[in-house]
Chain A
Amino acid sequence: MVDLLDYLKPDRVILLDASGYESILKQAVSLCAGNAKLELNVLQSIKASSRTNAPQDINLGKGFALVHARSDEASDITMSLGLLPKAIHLIKGDLVQALFCIILPNAKSRMYLSLLARLGRLLNQEDAVEVFQEARDRLVAGESNECAKIIIDYISAFESA
């Protein structure tokens, strides 16, 4: 079974500069992609999807959102988490405070479904909103290690339950 800790690494959690949708998207994708070619490929894919009425950015509610894209340039599933200094209207629906970005190769669709189901259950935990807000506050205060620790500890507890 998938383990969220295999995908969400401490160095892939950042504070996003809340300077508009395009900029936020670029920051999240850049961190997740890890290289310029894949980043460009994914950004183009996301823009194209919005024109075909099949948007790849999803408001999950309770302050969480997800942007995801497939790319043959990707060798494995990668995930990043961007936290916003304060909750904002980013994608239609609830205010967003945390944006997950996931890039996957076409051949990993099933694993991605498993990952998504597990992530969904994590974010539906009663205390998830509170924990991610606490992590965000630490990040805003410049305590990036503490922020990552809060999130990783939370996921670890979920995985071992």
Chain B
Amino acid sequence: MKLMIIILKDESLLDRISSILLEVGLFDSSVLDGESIESLSDEGLPLFASFKSLFGKEYSYNRTLFIPVGDARDIKVFLHICQKEGIDFSNPEKACLMTLPCQIYDGSNGDSL
């Protein structure tokens, strides 16, 4: 069992990634609204406010997906389809993905594939 986490900096990718997750059979995911640490720093610490102009772009909000994965092979299939669809996790402006081992999972899997 693994937990896959995707931080979407480009929120426009959410629909396509959600669809690919369903296609692969990865259900029971949660999508959370997030805000980058750079953006939060900007609000509270004047020192960081200048960073926004320094980098010439706005730090923005993001979406974070938590996806329980029962079969690690599904992650490879998911990444393969994302690659074919031009979703590039190596582009830091778009998104990043990580997986963590999940030692305990206690929850319903609904009807199975």
Contacts and interface: CB of A to CB of B under 8 A. Distances in A.
Given A2-B23, A117-B23, 14 more contacts: A1-B23, A1-B24, A2-B25, A2-B113, A107-B111, A108-B111, A109-B110, A110-B110, A111-B25, A111-B111, A114-B23, A114-B25, A121-B81, A121-B85
Nearest to B25: A114
Q: Is the interface of A mostly helix, strand, loop or mixed?
A: helix
A161 B81 CA distance: 9
B102 interface: no
B20 interface: yes
Given A1-B25, A114-B25, A121 B113 contact: no
- Interface size class, chain B: 10 to 19
B20 A109 contact: no
Interface string B3-41: 000000000000000011011110100000000000000
Given A1-B77, A161-B84, A114 B111 contact: no
